[in-house]
Structure 1
Amino acid sequence: MSTINSNTKIYIRTGRLDDAEAVLAVQNSVISEGEYLITVTEEFNKTPAQQREWIKKLIENDRETLIVAEANGELVGWIVFLCQNRLRLAHTGSFGMMILKNYRGMGIGKMLLKALLEWAERNPLIEKVSLGVFSTNHRAISLYKSMGFVEEGRKIKEIKLNENEYVDDILMYKWV
């Protein structure tokens, strides 16, 4: 457990099946902001039952994980590591992270990412942790670089925000 300030205690732990609704609530909240995610509100309609099934599959897979952050008992963010089902890609996977807006800038993202990297380093099946990030998400890019991630490529104008606005998708990785 970490303390952000005298009123906020953060607890980082492995996600559980009974977190499904809270994980879904965070996901819905972050997607509704529409800023740094490929998924838009209109196309996201996962039910609590589907979320539970997704978490169940993560828990059952030795090469995947879900790690959550609680602030004073409330689930406020999470990070998920997903892998490919291909033999030649079995050593690698990528992550996504979501944190409620009111809890950003407090170090929770760094705590979640640190926990994920520690999990990956202990996991003999994982060698490379990857991610994709909007080129406009400067705070996230700064966090990833501070944790040892390096840019390995860029998909130019990969994400179309509206009729005349595009964003590059920066691909980053770290060997563990």
Structure 2
Amino acid sequence: MEIEAKTHTLRDGGSLTIRSAIADDAPATLELLRSVVEEGAYTVREPSEFDLTEAGERECIEEDREAAGNLCLVATTGGEVVGMVRASAETYRRTRHFADLDSLWVHAVHRRRGVAGTLLAALVAWARSHPEIEKLGLYVFSTNGGAVRLYETHGFAVEGRYPRDIKFGDGSYADTVAMGLIVKERPAGSNA
């Protein structure tokens, strides 16, 4: 699925454009993901396990563009991809109202400028206007307090916690925090 490109002003006065990803963004989105994985603090995958290819990323972007319940957005400044967010909904009738926020990444040098919040707001707005999506959900490490606060600021609530779900190389643990956001109230007459 696609959204129209829109330009935003960041906290520091910089300009940021949010737009749907295209296949030609694959090298940049792959490099962004690689940079976040190499930080070692925010992903399940460790740097030695990074095996994504440009061809695979191109394929993911194309699938996101074609699937009605998927969205992949990039944030650009000065023509450079500095952030991305990806969400996907199942095709099954019982679960297609729910979209999983698969990833939200921002290059380290562009953090704390409002890039992540702008991407997240665009994703939430898309979900609210989507004819079928009623809820967004995500998982985040308990050690990533900044991300938990960002999601809470945008209306997400903690729905569960998986203790000691993540084990880092130094032997320390993190919980996985499940968060969700209802973007549309349940239809009249439903049982839930």
The normalised TM-score by structure 1 is 0.95
- What are the within-5 Å matches in structure 2 for residues 23-172 of structure 1? 23-95=29-101, 96-162=103-169, 164-172=171-179
SS of the equivalent of 1:89 reads: coil
Deviation (angstroms), 1:2: 2.0
- What is the letter of the counterpart of residue 48 of structure 1? E
- What is the letter of the counterpart of residue 161 of structure 1? F
CA offsets per residue over residues 40-76 of structure 1, 9 Å max, x none? 1111211111111111111110000001100111000
- What is the letter of the counterpart of residue 56 of structure 2? Q
SS of the equivalent of 1:162 reads: coil
Deviation (angstroms), 1:166: 1.1
- What is the letter of the counterpart of residue 151 of structure 2? Y
SS of the equivalent of 2:31 reads: helix
Partner of 1:2: 8
- What is the letter of the counterpart of residue 89 of structure 1? T
CA offsets per residue over residues 66-102 of structure 1, 9 Å max, x none? 0110011100010000223433211102111011000
Task: Kindly indicate which of the two structures has a greater share of residues assigned to helix.
Answer: 1
Task: Kindly indicate which of the two structures has a greater share of residues assigned to strand.
Answer: 1
Q: Do 2:69 and 2:90's aligned partners in 1 also have CA atoms closer than 8 Å?
A: no
Partner of 1:13: 19
- What is the letter of the counterpart of residue 39 of structure 1? R
1:71 & 1:149 partners in 2: Cα distance?
A: 27
Could you tell me which runs of 5 or more consecutive residues in structure 2 were left unpaired when the two chains were aligned. 1-6, 184-192
CA offsets per residue over residues 6-65 of structure 1, 9 Å max, x none? 5x3111111111111111110111111111111111112111111111111111100000
Q: Do 2:84 and 2:119's aligned partners in 1 also have CA atoms closer than 8 Å?
A: yes
